[in-house]
C-alpha cells in the first residue's frame, strides 16, 4: 500500500473513531492544507492534522512535520497552535488513534515514538473537557464556522 492510500485509510479510521465518540466531522475540499479535518461536539470546534504511524528503526513513530515539494524543491515545516489544535497519529494496523494537543506535539521536530504518547492513545477525553478552543488561545474558529465571529477574529488566518 502506498503513502496516499495509507493516509486515506488513516483519515477514514480517524473519522470513524470521532463519529463513534459523538463528534461531527468537517473536511476541507482541498488537500495539502494545514487542517485535515475539523471536529465539532456541543458547539466546540477543533482543527486536526492527521498523520499515519510509521515504522522507523524498529519503532512505531508519529511524524509531526510537513514535507512539501514542488519542482524538486523540498520544504520542511512544523505545525503551530495558530494552525491546528490537535495532532492525530493513527496506527492503521490496529486502528489506535493518538490525540496529541499541539502544545505537546510542537515540542518535537520530526517524529514522536508511540511509546512516549501512550496516555494519549484513544483518549477522546482530551478533546471534550475544553470550553471553546482554548488550546489555541480562543474559541473564534467555532464562532467563525457558525457565523458568529463578529469583529473579534484574533488568531484566525
pLDDT recorded at residue 52 = 92
Residue 154 located in a structural domain: no
Which residue range(s) make up the domain with 115?
3-146
Looking up residue 19, the CATH number of its domain turns out to be 3.40.1350.10
pLDDT recorded at residue 2 = 84
Sequential pLDDT tens for the chain (157 residues): 888 889 889 999 999 999 999 999 999 887 767 899 999 998 899 999 999 998 888 899 888 877 666 666 777 777 788 888 998 999 999 999 999 998 888 788 788 888 888 999 999 988 875 544 444 444 444 444 444 444 443 443 3
Residue 153 located in a structural domain: no
pLDDT recorded at residue 97 = 96
pLDDT recorded at residue 20 = 95
Residue 157 located in a structural domain: no
User: Alpha-carbon distance 26 to 19, whole Å?
Assistant: 11
At 34, list the grid cell.
Answer: 494545514
Residue 155 located in a structural domain: no
Number of domains in the chain: 1
User: At a CB cut-off of 8 Å and minimum separation 6, what does 137 contact?
Assistant: 81, 82, 154, 155
User: At a CB cut-off of 8 Å and minimum separation 6, what does 72 contact?
Assistant: none
Amino acid at each position: 500500500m502506498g503513502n496516499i492510500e495509507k493516509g486515506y485509510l488513516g483519515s477514514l479510521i480517524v473519522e470513524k473513531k470521532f463519529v463513534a465518540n459523538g463528534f461531527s466531522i468537517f473536511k476541507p475540499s482541498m488537500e495539502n492544507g494545514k487542517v485535515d479535518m475539523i471536529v465539532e461536539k456541543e458547539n466546540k470546534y477543533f482543527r486536526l492534522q492527521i498523520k499515519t504511524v510509521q515504522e522507523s528503526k524498529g519503532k512505531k513513530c508519529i511524524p509531526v512535520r510537513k514535507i512539501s515539494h514542488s519542482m524538486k524543491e523540498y520544504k520542511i515545516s512544523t505545525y503551530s497552535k495558530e494552525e491546528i489544535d490537535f495532532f492525530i497519529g493513527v496506527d492503521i494496523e490496529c486502528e489506535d488513534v493518538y490525540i496529541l494537543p499541539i502544545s505537546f506535539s510542537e515540542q518535537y521536530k520530526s517524529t514522536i515514538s508511540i511509546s512516549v504518547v501512550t496516555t494519549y492513545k484513544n483518549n477522546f477525553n482530551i478533546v471534550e473537557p475544553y470550553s471553546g478552543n482554548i488550546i489555541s488561545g480562543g474559541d473564534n474558529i467555532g464562532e467563525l464556522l457558525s457565523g458568529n465571529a463578529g469583529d473579534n477574529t484574533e488568531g484566525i488566518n
